[in-house]
């Protein structure tokens, strides 16, 4: 099955929630496991036990594992392995962006099934040109994986780039969204080319109907509300995947408490 098909099936089964797995130093200390390699492993193991086969999407942030070096990456490999093929889909948040053979190498690292860090989907940056993400889509197609491209993010400096007009007229964000819609044309139930659109971007006149998944960070503790989701994504609700981390992870370190927190957030989305 394509990633788009699996994403729709997962969301139908568990609700459109993506739980961010962000083991930053403050959270490891808050959990009482310590900002150490052992603390990272205990954190990751708890998340796998809590979320595998219980939520539709789990999004490890690679940077928080990379900061521990090769041993941290080993923990990331174990985390991905523990989550995949359980019913939950792993969206690896790496935001890679490069050109040519380097982009292809990144794609092989995170999307090729022969790689120990292969995920169901990754996040990428298109700001070296739309063609720079082609290698990711090529590897993704061979491995039935997905690619989420940054389009409309919530960080304060984003409009400087994303709202800028291109030579052809549309904004940079609009050009990204149109490219994704082109890649997804004709796919059913939806394509595997996704966009990252923040829950707290305010208003937008861009066409968000890309016939593909929309990864929406910022829901919950970061300020995004159910009303924001309704307003921004009401017309494309079946494509929307709301990502939340703090509202869930603050319940740790007990796996049962983490799972209950995730289910509560998922229920809020379902009620919407």
Q: What's the pTM value of the predicted model, to 2 decimals?
A: 0.97
Output DSSP code: residue 21: E
Total of domains in the chain: 1
The CA distance from 215 to 121, in Å, is 11
CATH of the domain at 24: 3.20.20.70
Which of 41, 59, 95, 142 is labelled catalytic?
95
What are 31-53's pLDDT values in tens digits? 999 999 999 999 999 999 999 99
What are 9-19's pLDDT values in tens digits? 999 999 999 99
- Mean pLDDT confidence for 247-271: 95
The pLDDT confidence band at residue 184, using thresholds 50, 70 and 90, is: very high
What are 191-212's pLDDT values in tens digits? 999 999 999 999 899 999 999 9
What are 50-100's pLDDT values in tens digits? 999 999 999 999 999 999 999 999 999 999 999 999 999 999 999 999 999
pLDDT score at 223: 82
Active site residue 95: yes
Length of the chain in residues, anyone?
272
Domain range for 70 is: 3-271
Provide the terminal-to-terminal Cα distance of the chain, rounded to the nearest Å. Answer: 28
The pLDDT confidence band at residue 222, using thresholds 50, 70 and 90, is: confident
Cα distances (angstroms) measured from residue 89 to each of 7, 42, 53: 7, 21, 9
The per-residue DSSP string of 13-36 comes to HH-SEEEEE---HHHHHHHTS-SS
């Amino acid at each position: 099955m394509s990633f788009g098909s699996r994403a729709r099936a997962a969301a139908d089964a568990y609700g459109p929630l993506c739980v961010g797995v962000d083991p930053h130093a403050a959270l490891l200390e808050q959990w009482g496991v310590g900002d150490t390699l052992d603390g990272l492993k205990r954190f990751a193991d708890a998340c796998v036990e809590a979320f595998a086969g219980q939520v539709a999407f789990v999004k490890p942030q690679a940077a928080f594992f990379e900061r521990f070096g090769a041993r941290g990456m080993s923990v990331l490999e174990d985390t991905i392995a523990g989550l995949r093929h359980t019913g939950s889909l792993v969206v690896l948040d790496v935001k890679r962006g490069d050109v040519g053979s380097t982009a292809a190498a990144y794609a092989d690292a995170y999307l090729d099934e022969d790689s120990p860090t292969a995920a169901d989907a990754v996040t990428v940056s298109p700001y070296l040109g739309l063609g720079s993400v082609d290698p990711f889509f090529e590897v993704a197609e061979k491995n039935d994986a997905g690619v989420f491209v940054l389009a409309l993010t919530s960080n304060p400096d984003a409009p400087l780039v994303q709202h800028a007009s291109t030579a052809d007229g549309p904004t940079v964000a609009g050009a990204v969204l149109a490219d994704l819609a082109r890649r997804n044309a004709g796919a059913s139930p939806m394509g595997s080319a996704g966009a990252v659109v923040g829950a707290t971007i305010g208003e937008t006149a861009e066409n968000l109907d890309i016939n593909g998944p929309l990864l929406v960070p910022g829901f919950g503790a970061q300020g995004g509300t159910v009303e924001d989701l309704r307003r921004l994504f009401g017309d494309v609700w079946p494509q929307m995947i709301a990502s939340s981390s703090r509202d869930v992870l603050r319940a740790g370190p007990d796996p049962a408490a983490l799972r209950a927190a995730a289910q509560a957030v998922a229920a809020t989305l379902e009620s919407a």
